[in-house]
Amino acid sequence: MAPQVYNNGSGYNTPDSQLESALPIHPTAARRPEYITVQSENTTYTDEHITSKFVNRGASVQVTDGRMTVTPTAQTYEFRTERKVGKTGLMMIGLGGNNGTTLCATILANRHNITWHTKNGIVQPNYIGSMLRASTVQIGTDPATGKEVHVPISDVLPMVHPDDLVLGGWDISGLPMDQAMARSKVLDYDLQRQVAPHMALLDKPLPSIYYPDFIAANQEARADNVIPGADKQAHLEHIRADIRKFKVEHGLDRVVVFWTANTERYSDIIPGVNDTADNLLAAIKSSHEEVSPSTLFAVAAILEGAPFVNGAPQNTFVPGAIALAEREHGFIGGDDLKSGQTKLKSVLAEFLVNAGIKPLSIASYNHLGNNDGHNLSAERQFRSKEISKSSVVDDMVDANRLLYKAPAAGATGKAAKGEHPDHIVVIKYVPAVGDSKRAIDEYYSEIFCGGRQTINIFNECEDSLLATPLILDLTILTELLTRVQYRRSGEGEFAPLHSVLSLLSYMCKAPLVKPGTDVVNSLGRQRNALEAFLKACVGLEGNSDLLLETRIW
């Protein structure tokens, strides 16, 4: 008998034998345990934990009459990482959008080993673009050959495998996931054709929160799947119940909540409204107009003990939200996925400044035609993105006051930054190009003896195919960091990390950091910090590029 086929009404046909393999949404196949075992007095293993000692070395600098006295410092910490990786769910706000559908389809393609045809040949499913799944870290040298040994970053510590994530979430559009994927127009048709039956088995997006004042008016036509009413306290309780239900229904140990929906306008910071935890909770109860959907989702996640990551540029984490996370010992991270143009900027600007070359202006132009671009065509939503993109070179400029004059004492406003390159960001909505984003950058710099240098870069890419792997990395790292505890050596009990997960900065345009600490935008420094932390958790030192053994007798 010929195999039966599945047809969802959109022309997607898949044999029953393949469809049946889609039914277990969460496979239970055992994953390989961590690959690295460190033999050291600084590292111990039990069935439950990896415990390590790490010496954090730095220097204290005292300035007196323009002279600097530098004193080396050393502080020993102990890290304890829970080895068991619990069953983890990912709930995305914006599940039916470009990023949400692309992520779900990619995981399903990998989970079911779906290959597809393009004009260039057959493509295998992969996680290229994910730092955790497609890049490596150097852990030492082979004594026999003297060559460096590299391992996948995902092997340093036990981490969730992307294939094992349980997927769900909310969207203001109620389109089923297979149809939402087709609407997004991101993936090759042959992949869509084969993965559509698996997508159709995912739950439709849950109703989401829609406050028209926070996103562009051009999104109203999509808003057919919203929680009714205007009572923000009721909306908060509704979202909290959704998280609890999802966790129970799927037997999850941990849920990570991720905002990958539309960019909102910036929220005004108003004393008495969103400046403290209690004021923010009271503002929600009174349905204050300045409580945004993303902030309400963040509060719901915090109160449910679910880490919340903001993948968009708006100021979701108003001071009251950060204070609430600290009080509830919740975990938060963000803001805004750093995928293409801004990631390059955080490399190239650092390269120029570190080379002693002085960027005078950085002009960035973008055009794209997906729904993100449509939403950003509204002025207030674009302003959120502009703010996120514009701060990316600040720490690099501040690190070199030979090139840029420091701010004058008591300076306020723009002058408080001191001398700074002109930095312009333009985003235009061009429907014809769809998800294929075009980015043009000009770096105009001063060089030797008053000369000038201009570097122009043109970048074209599928926007969602760069952003989606970052959602995976942020989710997996967030889950890992919930299992890491620390203490100063010999002092008290182990405690969780700070609520603000600044180690996620590598994937974020506008990194959220612990209040009162400096923001680091340099991509190299962010990557080094993350690598060093992961290695510290197994008792290894951070990377040394000194290569002393090659430089001395």
Residue 232 annotated as catalytic: no
**Interhelix angle for 98-111 vs 189-200, to 10°?**
90
Tens of pLDDT, residues 104-159: 999 999 999 999 999 999 999 999 999 999 999 999 888 888 888 999 999 999 99
What is the distance, to the nearest Å, from the Cα of residue 6 to the centroid of all Cα atoms in its chain? Answer: 36
CA–CA distance, 101 with 184 (Å, rounded to integer): 8
Q: Given a cut of 80, is residue 4 above it in pLDDT? A: no
Q: Which domain holds residue 383?
A: 341-463
| Predicted local distance difference test score (pLDDT) of residue 143 | 87
For 484, the token pair is 């890491």
Of 416, 444, 463, which residue sits at a domain end? 463
What integer is the mean pLDDT of 479-489?
95
Q: Given a cut of 70, is residue 373 above it in pLDDT? A: no
Contact 132, 512 (CB under 8 A): no
| Predicted local distance difference test score (pLDDT) of residue 387 | 60
What integer is the mean pLDDT of 32-60?
89
Q: Let me know if residue 452 belongs to a domain.
A: yes
| Predicted local distance difference test score (pLDDT) of residue 262 | 84
Residue 345 annotated as catalytic: no
Does the reported pTM lie above 0.85? yes
Which among 275, 337, 317 is positioned nearest to 467, based on CA atoms? Answer: 337
CA–CA distance, 103 with 91 (Å, rounded to integer): 12
Q: Which residue of the set 204, 247, 343, 509 is catalytic?
A: 509
Q: Let me know if residue 384 belongs to a domain.
A: yes
| Predicted local distance difference test score (pLDDT) of residue 6 | 33
Q: Let me know if residue 514 belongs to a domain.
A: no
Q: Let me know if residue 89 belongs to a domain.
A: no
Q: Let me know if residue 49 belongs to a domain.
A: yes
Tens of pLDDT, residues 506-551: 999 888 988 888 888 888 889 999 999 999 999 998 777 777 666 6
| Predicted local distance difference test score (pLDDT) of residue 389 | 57
Q: Given a cut of 90, is residue 53 above it in pLDDT? A: yes
CA–CA distance, 397 with 412 (Å, rounded to integer): 18
| Predicted local distance difference test score (pLDDT) of residue 62 | 94
Tens of pLDDT, residues 407-453: 888 777 777 778 888 888 888 888 888 878 888 899 999 999 999 99
Q: Let me know if residue 215 belongs to a domain.
A: no
What integer is the mean pLDDT of 73-92?
96
Tens of pLDDT, residues 211-225: 988 887 777 888 899
Q: Which residue of the set 437, 441, 463, 473 is catalytic?
A: 437
Of 441, 463, 485, which residue sits at a domain end? 463
Q: Say which CATH number the domain at 451 has.
A: 3.30.360.10
What integer is the mean pLDDT of 174-179?
96
For 213, the token pair is 């004042």
Exposed/middle/buried for 457, CB within 10 Å: 0-12, 13-18, 19+?
A: middle
The alpha carbon dihedral of 115, 118, 122, 127 has a sign of negative
Q: Which residue of the set 345, 385, 389, 535 is catalytic?
A: 385
- Beta-bridge partners for 437: 461
Residue 509 annotated as catalytic: yes
Average pLDDT, the chain: 87
Residues ≥6 apart with Cβ < 8 Å to 29: none
Residue 514 annotated as catalytic: no
Q: Let me know if residue 70 belongs to a domain.
A: yes
Q: Given a cut of 80, is residue 390 above it in pLDDT? A: no
Q: Which residue of the set 171, 178, 336, 435 is catalytic?
A: 336
Tens of pLDDT, residues 22-34: 333 333 334 555 5
Of 401, 428, 463, which residue sits at a domain end? 463
Q: How many distinct structural domains can be found in the chain?
A: 2
Q: Let me know if residue 377 belongs to a domain.
A: yes
